[in-house]
Structure 1
């Protein structure tokens, strides 16, 4: 950490006991005491559901015979496409995925039928008794040529394509002194939640349905589920319960449609819980990307031209693929750097390769891996230090973004780079032995908050004093382990000077305020903005009512732990205050239209921007090619830190996820079939793999900044992979352009390099 800026740069460390008091939900989650939706086994009348999945990646459905399954012990219902009461389709962007397939299956995880029975074992036995006749069809597996293959959907296999360009690219390339062209590939990554997809659908006596599930937007899910079940939206309620992570993988509907249809059919609650095998098969994955990138600069190292051609494989259905494509392309423009001319072109295609959608980073980290690798390649071509090359081209704090939109960074990119260049990880360590090679590398990244590109992005929250004398704070988004519940409680306690026991945080209920989805790192911005408006209003209302009840001057009263205080003495507890107040008088609603770039006819990109530089030190085994990440040092500029433990956890957790993407995680396909079906074959990093991490915070946030708090859920993953591959190159001289790093390929390249010297 730079010694010249001690007041503006801080290093975060995990406190064993936060000054606010222990994070109760966090400790309950760690202890395994937090109830997941699949723990609701004592629901009265509960039945268990199971979903029959396709036996083929691509086939025509000739016949689905459920007659034998209906006679199996304990079975209450078997449903197929014919039993869907409403629309047999769902999807956030394009409603192209069937609840149950009708004429064709398009990937191994496609649902064909579902069973409800007294026990999970009976449901699975009945599921196995369903007789399905298929006519196998050739699968579309190569994303690069998918748009020239037989169509999987009406309209062909090209879902979306987009071009972002500026300047005269041909003329800019003609003036370049150095040009590098490389192909990059990133993997199909799995979310690997602690608790797999599941939940319960509960019918009521009035013909409505309540879902207690793991989801990321209850309000959005209500609209789709009402259409599927043929119900009015008012008849459908979603309660997003705590889960073992989401990271985008529960953004789309998962088990809800099948559970809801079975519950309607039987009139009883139905729980469906995917085991790990089924989650691996049917769950959403990260988009694998193939990208060719050509970048050129002049003799002084100024980037003049940049060309990108990318293909994203979304699998059988669109899910959030079109939005991922947009964010990928935005990052592929190299938004941290001034570039005279560029053309960034991307295609999103259907294949029979599973299903891809939202995943932490949302396409941005795939693009950043390629962009930052290009920066290192050009620096090497010039014989220039990679940090100096970046410094030559970095945008300044007041510059517009790469698409000429106004952006709001929280610090100067050059200062973040300077702190990374001063990292202690660059100091050469004692040699670990002849078998191991050491190397240090770095990469930079940026990440925006919010849905971006002018998409509807608003949300609200509510705070009130309940009859029990507690402050109830409601937001519609869910908490997936980011521990935003504790952050909310802290803000309320600071704003009202009350005790945590006075606060009750309620999240994820579709009957409450619509806060928008738990995605795009938007929740922290929303919470801070909403509470900053609502808390002063509620505080004034509390003191006004307390003044009316006590006869004391309003300006002399203030809320505190357990009640209202006058000259440091409690004169009225909150329960008494609530009991003498008309219902609704002490309720404050506030909302936020998520900020977009001003002065734009059509908003582009994301306005609120965060910065990170990651420095990685690795060791590479000469004998096996195995890579071990020893240290990661993150320099972040993401606004004010309101909850240090949560900030640290988000950056470090995202970084470990990025480490998995870089070194071990992939779901390879063969003929449209996954080659891994469980976590014994899909290797996520463990504690043994986790490096020592240091997180520094550069805070240049002005006191009058209208958006001092940003969401950091995706920032930590942004620059990890290119920092690791840069460190590998420093250790071995081998540049890696395909993730995850193959130890065998790396070893072969190392041996070839040594033999040629």
Structure 2
């Protein structure tokens, strides 16, 4: 049944279609990326003296190491160096939040991807052969594999005394109001358990990079990473070097999505480079990437939610367990974001208690992943709303409209938030989607259904975390406007967005702008994560450009003899009375370029009225409408259409906006239907993409992306980051569509065709 259309106007909207994309890309040369000719980090095989590295991984998910003998490996043909824990000159630990992961294990291994030693040789084959003769003695230990029971099992990190040396890494609770009283006044209460999978990033270019020693005892790293400055700091400590002896160049990568936020091959490559005095490249193959790479946190949660007879949400209780695996990585930040989203930030709820536990296990390592915990929480929250609406006999959209926040309302944690469009308008536009009009449940083999879910996503790293970034603008000797940021480019179109922003601000053409990213010697812009880059680019450029343009005008006036206040920036140079009087190249050749450089930085905006800074002050919204077809014979689900209504500020670069929403949505589709890195006794059951099934072009649905934008002209934050927004509501929209088609609501992801068939059979028997 098509949802009732909520009352109230629908704001002006724009559909990002092919014409928008073609017009926006006509002057941007994306051909190398599209055709696969963009050079990645591990394409640098031309370096003189290059050696190839390989890493020995643990043979057990959990064991004590009784000995490591690398003597035979050192004598193997082509081998130039073998390193282990004894060769680490600094702290033998790394980690973004807690440095608890060994560079090389010497006492204990905690997951099957743990590093024990590394080899540098003339060829990859010789390096692998040397690994085979390294002898490691193991004493197997009990494997902690069930997150729900982890706190009662053998502690994997005895140093964490905060929780008595148990496997509890972090615990957090958010609450408001009198929960017991609120539940006592509920007419309808629903309680369900939800489970989301351990998902793999599956980027095109697996983890890799090269370490190049210099003549002064330092190292240059060219790697795929998401924070060159943070990596350089950790690597300098590990290698026992001064911080200015380590440089990280974060080169273009074939995707990251959070999976390259943590150090991967860098410590081993750096140690081997210093040991040999030659460049060393390490590039994981797909099998090793599957085994060792960061994964999405699997979450199990019990959610209890109640409302009154009119559908007003009164009470909400959440009890979640997140499996962080063997090491912390960004687990504590993911827990915080999960709980933030579990408070249902789009909706008014009188009272809630949202609690979560983050536990260690031997199940690999989990960390940052697109959505960052938010989409796991939204799946459960939106499913709860549908369940309540069903109990009341109310349309899901009407139920949501009753509870949606309005502009000016405080956030779910009583903080100020900034929306770019009223939530009711986003909902109304979703209800007006043409996907509802074409609904036909089907009576043959294929059952079809349409469902909808909403989501909110905030930009920034979150509560209390250091979150600032800077940039620099100058004039290059070649006469280009050079813009530098520390952000990495891993396919999110940040270069194109920067170019568009500079062109809009200066009035120049794209070919006048040169962008330099990801060098730890340049400005520290913070990590390329949490959809923060676009916000900081806009804010920093807004601070830099006016002063820099005045600086350039002053020098140009002295050179040209024209009044400073009459000089205008334009394509190729500066103009007076519509005639170019000085090109950027001429200007660059006539002045000291150091005098034409300007820098600025800013703290990422947080809610201004809280004693403790509340992150995600800049809120984005999405409503996703999904249409599915379910095979009654096999239980397989095919997503045929997705329609996204977004409210995420102004669109600077349409192809980038469209690509981010569509790409994230397909990743969400994988989470909903096929992707799960399951484990047995701490070991992954899949080791390649023929067993771990990600959506392909064949599986990708037809997608439409609409943009609602009511951002005022004087809004200080008109630009938001959309890298994670598209994934937010996909899974609950798909499961809502499955329920419309079959009558079965799925609460464990990915959808298991067998479970769906059992549910469908039960539905048919009940009729």
The interval holding the TM-score normalised by the smaller chain is over 0.9
Deviation per CA, 1:277-312: give whole Å up to 9, x if none: 000000000000000000011111111110000000
Deviation per CA, 1:350-395: give whole Å up to 9, x if none: 0000110000000000000000000000000111110111111111
Matched, 1:173 2:187: no
Quick one: distance in 2 between partners of 1:402 and 1:246? Answer: 31
Quick one: distance in 2 between partners of 1:268 and 1:9? Answer: 56
Quick one: distance in 2 between partners of 1:535 and 1:529? Answer: 10
Match of 2:22 among 17, 21, 35: 17
Matches within 5 A, 1:282-293: 282-293=292-303
Q: Which residue pairs with 2:162 in the alignment?
A: none
Matched, 1:599 2:604: no
Contact kept in structure 2, 1:53 and 1:110, CA below 8 Å:
yes
Matches within 5 A, 1:385-534: 385-429=395-439, 434-534=444-544
Quick one: distance in 2 between partners of 1:433 and 1:510? Answer: 60
Matched, 1:677 2:687: yes
Quick one: distance in 2 between partners of 1:236 and 1:81? Answer: 20
Contact kept in structure 1, 2:24 and 2:653, CA below 8 Å:
no
Matched, 1:143 2:129: no
Contact kept in structure 2, 1:20 and 1:490, CA below 8 Å:
no
Q: Which residue pairs with 1:59 in the alignment?
A: 63
Match of 1:251 among 235, 258, 261: 261
Matched, 1:85 2:95: no
Matched, 1:334 2:344: yes
Secondary structure of the corresponding residue to residue 530 of structure 1:
helix
**What is the aligned length?**
756
| RMSD value, Cα | 1.4
Matched, 1:71 2:75: yes
> Shift of the alpha carbon at 1:410?
0.9
Deviation per CA, 1:502-529: give whole Å up to 9, x if none: 2110000000000000001000001111
Contact kept in structure 2, 1:2 and 1:419, CA below 8 Å:
no
Secondary structure of the corresponding residue to residue 703 of structure 2:
strand
> Shift of the alpha carbon at 1:20?
6.3
> Shift of the alpha carbon at 1:495?
2.0
Quick one: distance in 2 between partners of 1:379 and 1:477? Answer: 44
Matched, 1:358 2:368: yes
Match of 2:50 among 39, 46, 52: 46
> Shift of the alpha carbon at 1:19?
4.3
Q: Which residue pairs with 2:115 in the alignment?
A: 111
Quick one: distance in 1 between partners of 2:315 and 2:350? Answer: 6
Match of 1:564 among 567, 574, 577: 574
Match of 1:277 among 253, 269, 287: 287
Quick one: distance in 2 between partners of 1:568 and 1:4? Answer: 48
Q: Which residue pairs with 1:609 in the alignment?
A: 619
Q: Which residue pairs with 1:540 in the alignment?
A: 550
Quick one: distance in 1 between partners of 2:568 and 2:352? Answer: 58
Matched, 1:213 2:223: yes
Could you list the structure 1 runs, at least 4 aligned residues long, displaced by more than 6 angstroms after superposition: 1-7
Contact kept in structure 2, 1:162 and 1:347, CA below 8 Å:
yes
Quick one: distance in 1 between partners of 2:697 and 2:119? Answer: 39
Q: Which residue pairs with 2:36 in the alignment?
A: 32
Matches within 5 A, 1:648-667: 648-667=658-677
Contact kept in structure 2, 1:211 and 1:239, CA below 8 Å:
yes
Task: Flag structure 1 segments of 5+ consecutive residues without an equivalent.
Answer: none
| TM-score normalized with structure 1 length | 0.98
Q: Which residue pairs with 1:733 in the alignment?
A: 743
Contact kept in structure 2, 1:47 and 1:116, CA below 8 Å:
yes
Q: Which residue pairs with 2:169 in the alignment?
A: 159
Contact kept in structure 1, 2:207 and 2:265, CA below 8 Å:
yes
Q: Which residue pairs with 1:699 in the alignment?
A: 709
Quick one: distance in 1 between partners of 2:9 and 2:651? Answer: 17
Quick one: distance in 2 between partners of 1:504 and 1:457? Answer: 26
Secondary structure of the corresponding residue to residue 593 of structure 2:
coil
Contact kept in structure 2, 1:405 and 1:605, CA below 8 Å:
no
Contact kept in structure 2, 1:197 and 1:255, CA below 8 Å:
yes
Q: Which residue pairs with 1:128 in the alignment?
A: 132
Quick one: distance in 2 between partners of 1:566 and 1:639? Answer: 35
> Shift of the alpha carbon at 1:101?
0.4
Quick one: distance in 2 between partners of 1:495 and 1:404? Answer: 36
Deviation per CA, 1:670-717: give whole Å up to 9, x if none: 011100000000000001111111111110000000000000000000
Contact kept in structure 1, 2:11 and 2:708, CA below 8 Å:
no
Deviation per CA, 1:321-368: give whole Å up to 9, x if none: 000000000001111111111111100000000110000000000000
Going from structure 1 to structure 2, the CA distance change for 1:349 and 1:455 (only over 3 Å counts) comes to same
Task: Flag structure 2 segments of 5+ consecutive residues without an equivalent.
Answer: 159-164
Secondary structure of the corresponding residue to residue 22 of structure 2:
coil
Quick one: distance in 2 between partners of 1:142 and 1:78? Answer: 36
Contact kept in structure 1, 2:227 and 2:261, CA below 8 Å:
yes
